[in-house]
Structures are given as structure tokens and as C-alpha cells.
Amino acid sequence: MSKKLKGGWLETTWHHLRRSPFQSLAAILVMWLNFLAATTLLVLIFGLSNLLNYFEGRPEVTAFLKDQADQEAVDQIRNQLSQLEGIKEVRYISKEEALKIYQEQNKDNPLLLEMVTADILPASLEISAVSPEYLTQVAEFLHQKSDLIEEVVFQRDVVERLSFWTRMIKAGGLAIVAFFSFVALVVIMVIVGMKIAMHRSEIAILRLLGASNFYIQAPFLLEGIIYGLIGSLLGIAVVGGLVFYWRPQIEAFFAPVVVLPQNNQLFLITILAELAVGAFLGLLAAWAASYRYLRR
Amino acid sequence: MIIRFDKVTKRFGQVVALENVSFEIKQGEFVFITGRSGAGKTTVIKLILAEFQPTEGEVWVGDYCLNRVKKKEVLALRRQIGVVFQDFRLLTNRTLKENILLALRVAGYRQPDWPEKLAQVLKLVGLEGREEFFPAQLSGGERQRACLARALIVEPKILLADEPTGNLDPETSWQLMDLLTKINKKGTTVVMATHNFDIVNSLRQRVIKLEAGQLVFDKKRGKYE
Ligand SMILES: Nc1ncnc2c1ncn2[C@@H]1O[C@H](COP(=O)(O)OP(=O)(O)OP(=O)(O)O)[C@@H](O)[C@H]1O
Ligand SMILES: [Mg+2]
């Protein structure tokens, strides 16, 4: 919208904003908080569902071996496992390999590296199946070998835990965002209401000049939209900035799972959608406030 | 547009501001409304603007009976009426220029036409060079002329002026009257509330005199009596 807008609304809105900067700041702050929460939630949900997809797509069991299990016994188990139906691969990870993986994962943390030697890390078997239903028999089989096997970790358990947390974060996050949205709505309603009250005499004059309701309302609606846009933009910028700043670390930590969006289009769409929601919230609040004051 | 009051009574609680007043003003007329303070002059003007409705009787402007007009129609009507308010009603936080252009905006004029109209009307009321002043920086008379400029810039069919010479020295008052006469000659109805008997007596236009809310006379070439 240009300054040459027919009604000069942007100009009027600018007057309003400048005349009470602290109220405008408060309105922008609540919107900012709201979108800080919303954007964080979006990032979390995106990451979690990617994690979930990753693990769901991999029917795997990890069996950690007791230290007394010798090579022969282990080979025997591997052979027996491979002969079960629906098994794709059985991979042996020795203590040394486990240490290598550990070192790779924690290469930025010398303290953690110092404390760990190959001795403490257990060797393990990674069994992957064609699909999850074949894992039951694997479990039964491994149970019988409890003399050699310390612990069995099912990806299924991981998946269950992940999906539980995803659900919790979705529900809790939505509740928080809904609450913040409500607070933002009320605060902006009050602030726009105050501004309308401040401009009572101006509004009365406009009425006598024959200005329509919409003409009078427009600058206030625009004000609400501006609060929504600036607040959401700042919220997105802060969370987005942090995520971008730590992107290498985050990606390394979760590798090989891809927890951050890889294509810019998705980013753009998310940002635009959030801006639209912000603008809409501001508009809604301003409209509610002005409707009450202006339409009798 | 014809203005017609038909047995109009306006009461504010116990106060009777107008009582059973009837008159008709044709398009292009010049009418003084006179009477002492509190006689009901401003009330007549506000009724024409539909700021409020009569308690009894009917007020007509053009094809509209203001007793039963839609809000939208009132607004459309107001855009064709210019008003110089007794208390100016300028926006205090806007410059003179912005105040005057406000009327054009509200009336929906195209922006390219604004500068020319603004220059014309500023010259007409003699406020050239004061565009960027705020109302508080203008003298009482200048504010009055600013208010007149705002009323005139939309080329209204009807000009209502409530005590427009109240804050002016005699010389400036006469300049303003010349202006109103000029505008009236171009076909604009001018309704002017005043108790400046000098002006009323010299111009010899139609005079409607009110006394305590009642119409005491309505003369073609009247005097202030
Ligand atoms: N909104 C109102 N509420 C109550 N009483 C009012 C209102 N407006 C006007 N009155 C009363 O109506 C009467 C007529 O007022 P009005 O303003 O029409 O007088 P006027 O002729 O314009 O006087 P002046 O020359 O002082 O401007 C007065 O007694 C005034 O007190
Ligand atoms: Mg008066």
C-alpha cells in the first residue's frame, strides 16, 4: 500500500502510532511473544515428526551384548537371526566401532571423549527387518538368549516414546499458543479501544464532514494489522535466526535424521502463513474494538 | 437542495431550544439567522446537519426527511454541505493543510486534483503560506477562515456558517462577508447564524429571527431588529 492511498489511512495510522508509542510497543510485544511461541512450536513439531517418520520407517532392534559374550556365541546368534523370516540385515557393532561412533557424535566435546574408552561401551547387534511385524519373533528369540544379551532396545519403543512426546508437545504447545493469541487479542483490543477513545473528538469531526464508518475505522484496522505483522515478523525472526545460527550443530546432532526443513519454499510458506495469521489476529482485535466504539 | 423546517420543536430535557419553527430555504438563497445568545441558532444548524433529530416536526434537506433517513444517506448529505462551526472543530494535531484536505479525502476527490483546489481555497480565504501551521499556531480569525476553507473546498451546495465573524475584526469580517456573497452568487445556499447587526443591516438579505426558540419574523430584505 502506498502513502497515496485514497483515504490517507496509512498517514492517519502513522499519526496514531507515533502519538502513543508505548501502547504500540505493548501491542507489538504481546504479538511477538505469541509468535515466538508459535514459531518454536512449529519448529519442534516439524523436527519431531521427521524423527518419528525416520524411526517408523526403520523396523529395527538393537541388542546390547554382555561383555562375556565371545565371538563364537555372537556369530551363532547372528546366523540364527539371519535365518528368521523377514530379516533384512544383522549388523555387528564391536566395542571399537561403538567408540568410533561415540567419538564422532561427541567430537566437539573433549570432556565427554576423555571419560569414555572402548571398554565401557557395549558391543551390539543391529537387526533390521523388512517390516515391523517380523520383529516380534526376533524379540522372542533374543529373550531366550538372556545369558548373552544385556538389553534389547526396540525402535518401536523409541517410536512410541517419540509419538507420545510429539502428541504432548502438540497439545501443550497449541494450548500455549491459543492462550497467547487470546491475550494478544484482548491486549490489542484494549489498546485500539484506548486509541479510539483518545481520538473521540477527531472522529466526531470526521462524522460531521460525512466520513463513512469504514473511512473512520480503516486507520484503526490498519493499526491492528501493523501490530500483527510486526509482532509476528519479530517472532519469526528471533526463532528463525536462532535455528539458522545453530543449524550445523542441530543437524550434526540428529544426523542422519533430517530435522530441519531443507527446501526454502517450505520456509517461505511458513513465514507467509504466520504473517497472515498475525495480520488477521491484529485485524480481528482492532475490528472488535472499533465495532464496539464506532457502530453503536 | 431545499431546506425545509416543518413545525420543528427541539427539546433537550427541560430546555426548549426550538419551538414550532417552520421555514423554507431555496437553493441559492442567502439567509441570516439572528437572535440573542441561546435563541436556538446553532440548534437550527445542527438539525440541518442531522447531528440530532427534532423532537417534533420534520426537517427536510433536498429529497431527504432527516427524521427517517439512513445513516449512510446522512453521511452522503453531509459531504454536500459545508459547515463553518462556531467552535471551528479543526483537528488540533493536524496542520492547516491536512485539515483542509481532510474534507476532500472524505468526499472522495482524486488526489491529483488536490493541490490546485487547496491553492485556490487558501487564496480565497487569505491563508497562503500558513499551510504547515497547526491550529494552535493560528489566530482565532485565521482558524475561522481555515474552517471556512475546509467547508468551501468541496464546493458544497449548501454552506452553513455559525457565527463566522465572531472572532474577526470589522475589516476582516467584511472581507469574509464579501467572500460569502461571492460564493452565494455562484449558486451556493448560504445560511449564516449571527448577531452582528452591522452586517445584517448592511447586506439586506433574508433574515430569520429567533427568540427563545420561537421564530419571531422571517423577512425577505430584513434588518436586525
Ligand atoms: N446538547 C444540548 N443539551 C442541552 N441543551 C442544549 C444543547 N444544545 C443547546 N442547548 C440549549 O438550547 C438552547 C439553544 O442553544 P443554541 O446553541 O441553539 O443557541 P444559539 O442561538 O446558537 O446561541 P449562541 O448565540 O450563544 O451561540 C440553549 O438554551 C442551550 O442551552
Ligand atoms: Mg450558537
Q: pLDDT (tens digit, 9 = 90+) per residue, A98-116?
A: 888 878 777 777 777 777 7
How many whole angstroms separate alpha carbon B82 and alpha carbon B155? 8
Asked if A268 and A285 sit in the same domain, the reply is yes
Assess whether the C-beta atom of B15 lies below 6 angstroms from ligand 1.
Answer: yes
Best CA proximity match to A27, nearest among A238, A229, A254: A229
Best CA proximity match to B210, nearest among B10, B2, B1: B10
Asked if A150 and A7 sit in the same domain, the reply is no
Predicted pLDDT of residue A296: 55
How many whole angstroms separate alpha carbon A44 and alpha carbon A38? 10
Asked if A41 and A170 sit in the same domain, the reply is yes
Asked if A216 and A122 sit in the same domain, the reply is no
How many whole angstroms separate alpha carbon A38 and alpha carbon A180? 9
ipTM for the assembly: 0.85
More reliable by pLDDT, B72 or A256 = B72
Predicted pLDDT of residue A1: 36
Measured in angstroms, how far is the CA atom of residue B49 from the centroid of ligand 1?
A: 15
Asked if the model's pLDDT at residue A233 lies above 50, the reply is yes
B89: which residues sit within 8 A by CB, 6+ positions away?
Answer: A201, A204, A205, A208, B147
Q: What is the mean pLDDT of residues A236-265?
A: 85
Residue type, A92: Y
Asked if A230 and A178 sit in the same domain, the reply is yes
Predicted pLDDT of residue A2: 38
The answer to whether A295 faces chain B, any CB pair under 8 Å, is no
Domain end point (choices A126, A154, A182):
A154
Asked if A174 and A128 sit in the same domain, the reply is no
- Range with lowest mean pLDDT among A5-9, A255-259, B97-101, B138-142: A5-9
Angle (CA) A276 A278 A279, round 5°: 65
- Range with lowest mean pLDDT among A151-165, A166-180, A229-243, A269-283: A151-165
How many whole angstroms separate alpha carbon A30 and alpha carbon A180? 8
Assess whether the C-beta atom of B43 lies below 6 angstroms from ligand 1.
Answer: yes
Most confident of A119-123, A248-252, B62-66, B220-224: B62-66
Asked if A144 and A289 sit in the same domain, the reply is no
Test mutation, B48, B74, B105, B154, chain A, max A CBs within 10 A = B105
Count of C-beta atoms within a 10 Å radius of residue A129:
22
Asked if A38 and A77 sit in the same domain, the reply is no
How many whole angstroms separate alpha carbon A291 and alpha carbon B5? 34
Q: Which three cell numbers stand for residue A30?
A: 504481546
Tens digit of pLDDT at every position of chain B (225 positions): 899 999 999 999 999 999 999 999 999 999 999 999 999 999 999 999 999 999 999 999 999 999 999 988 999 999 999 999 888 889 988 899 999 998 988 888 888 888 999 999 999 888 999 999 999 999 888 898 899 999 999 989 999 999 988 878 888 888 889 989 999 999 999 999 998 888 999 888 999 999 999 999 998 887 777
A170: which residues sit within 8 A by CB, 6+ positions away?
Answer: A45
Asked if A224 and A262 sit in the same domain, the reply is yes
Q: What is the mean pLDDT of residues A219-227?
A: 93
Q: Residue B86 region, left (φ>0) first, then alpha (ψ -120 to 50), else beta?
A: alpha
Nearest CA in chain B to A210: B75
Ligand nearest B36 Cα, by number?
Answer: 1
Predicted pLDDT of residue A104: 78
CB contact under 8 Å between A211 and B72, yes or no, is no
Buried b / exposed e across A71-101, counting CB within 10 Å, b at 16+?
A: eeebeebeeebeebeebeebeebebeebbee
Domain end point (choices A118, A135, A154):
A154
CB contact under 8 Å between A206 and B106, yes or no, is yes
Range of the domain at A64: 59-154
Domain end point (choices A118, A139, A154):
A154
How many whole angstroms separate alpha carbon A233 and alpha carbon A274? 8
Number of domains present in the structure of chain A: 2
Q: pLDDT (tens digit, 9 = 90+) per residue, A44-96?
A: 888 888 888 887 777 778 888 888 778 888 888 888 888 888 888 888 888 88
Strand duo B214-219 + B206-211: pairing:
antiparallel
Asked if A181 and A207 sit in the same domain, the reply is yes
Q: Which three cell numbers stand for residue B164?
A: 463566522
Predicted pLDDT of residue A122: 84
Q: How close, in Å, is residue B208 to chain A by CA atoms?
A: 24
Residues of B within 8 A of A206 (CB-CB) are 102, 106
The torsion angles phi and psi of A122, rounded to 5 degrees, stand at -80, 150
Average confidence score pLDDT of chain A = 84
Asked if A133 and A166 sit in the same domain, the reply is no
What CATH number did the domain enclosing A133 receive?
3.30.70.3040
Asked if A85 and A37 sit in the same domain, the reply is no
Predicted pLDDT of residue A7: 56
Q: What is the mean pLDDT of residues A209-219?
A: 89
How many whole angstroms separate alpha carbon A2 and alpha carbon A12? 13
Q: pLDDT grade, residue A4 (50/70/90)? A: very low
Nearest atom, ligand 1, residue B18 CA = 14
Q: What is the mean pLDDT of residues A185-213?
A: 90
CB B192 within 8 A of CB B33: yes
